[in-house]
Amino acid sequence: MEYELYKDYVSQTVTNSYPKYIREIIVKILKDKGIIVDELEQKDEDLTIEASLSKSLEEHQEAIKFIEEWEFIRPYKHAVLFIYSGFNQGALERLKTVGEIIPFVADPEVFDVLLAIDPDSVAAPRFQTPTFFEDDSKLYFKFNLKYKGYLPGTNTQTKLKYPILIVIHKDMPVLEVRFDRINTYYKDGETFYRDKIKLATTWAEVNLALNLENFNLQPILDYVDRSELPDLTVSAKRMDLKKGGKVTLESNKDYVLPLLGELKELMKEHEDEFIKSPVINQLLIDFITNTEETSDLPWMSLCWKNKVKTKDVIVKFQHNYYKEEYTLLQYTGVLKELERMDNVTKHLIELKDKLDKQPDAI
């Protein structure tokens, strides 16, 4: 692919698909790097940001290169976790030698290979030629998909560079598939995400000789749901009740779920009064326990609390995504730092280790 066409994919992706707060972060970093210089004098700050960013991407290969690098370390809205074993360093070196992966380099003349995945193709779709990056704690394999679509209500065609990452943690046996939401005018079917997850895990199994197992998150979520942890709580959940009813519960500003959560709080606040009525107390305990234990939970959201509430991290866990065994993680709200995403993964691992050693805690 010619660089000018590649540049169009990157710049249109940033302009049309990145949320405003992400574009603002990029502009700030590019200014700190000296790639953007405040040459434009405009009264409207938003126009200044957009104009500066567009000008930088159009004129500076270093800006395009920064986006490539940033795609490895930016936070993503979705992730799926797997347990891996059997990593083969020799297989990785062979892939480098034969050119089946492209090591990331700072040279702006070297850029990512874009893949077209056609769901209607006779040949089975497959991932290939990822860009590879390594730091002290992780290995990253970035697959760069390309799409075209039309902006809603217009005849304007727009291009999209859509990265999907395989992230292999060195210090724990966890492999993540990370990716962002994609606008409907680019998607090639209702099972878009499931299909791409399958392509990513198949590539890892075939090319890196990995054995992948589902990361079973259900016991962890059950444990959090039944515990009172200082910095982690259930913020919402969907319950399919035994008698056929369905209810979605969302917590209030004090992180208390309605109905069952409020009933627990009421019993705690008036414990002395309920103790005086042991029959009523036990009936309520049995009702809460029976409702929780006999209800299916298609999804649940956990909140990692922060002293600054706007920095809370809320993750929705959707079980058996499109009938697959794994759980899809969806990070909601504004997520500016990758560190928060990494901290969620690390904490889930810690909880898994704890429950593996103390199964009675579940």
pLDDT tens digits, 76-95: 999 999 999 998 889 999 99
Residue range(s) defining the domain that contains residue 50? 3-73
Amino acid (one-letter) located at 7: K
pTM: 0.83
Same domain membership, residue 167 and residue 92: yes
Q: Do residues 169 and 292 share a domain?
A: no
The pLDDT value recorded for residue 295 is: 47
Are 142 and 252 members of one domain? no
85 and 186 co-located in one domain: yes
Q: In this predicted model, what pLDDT tens digit does every residue of 190-201 receive, in sequence order?
A: 889 999 999 999
Q: Kindly report the number of other CB atoms within 10 A of residue 229's CB atom.
A: 13
- My answer on whether 151 and 249 are in the same domain is no
Say which range, 59-68, 109-118, 182-191, 344-353, has the weakest mean pLDDT: 182-191
Q: What is the pLDDT of residue 178?
A: 96
Please tell me whether residues 234 and 261 are part of one structural domain.
yes
**pLDDT given for residue 42 in this prediction:** 47
**Same domain flag for 315 and 206:** no
Q: Do 244 and 278 have their domain in common?
A: yes
* Encoded amino acid at 91, one letter: A
Mean pLDDT of 142-163: 88
How far apart, in Å, are the Cα atoms of 41 and each of 24, 48, 52, 59? Answer: 17, 7, 10, 18
In this structure, the answer to whether residues 250 and 200 fall within a common structural domain is no
Last residue of a domain, one of 73, 94, 113: 73
Q: Find residue 237's DSSP bridge partners.
A: 249, 300
- Asked if 256 and 121 sit in the same domain, the reply is no
Q: Considering 25, 51, 73, which residue would you say is the last residue of a domain?
A: 73
The last residue of one of the domains, among 155, 183, 214, is 214
pLDDT tens string 278-334:
777 676 666 655 555 544 557 888 999 888 888 889 999 998 888 898 999 999 877
Number of structural domains (the chain) is 3
Say if residue 153 is in the same domain as residue 272.
no
Share the mean pLDDT of the chain.
83
Same domain, 61 and 109: no
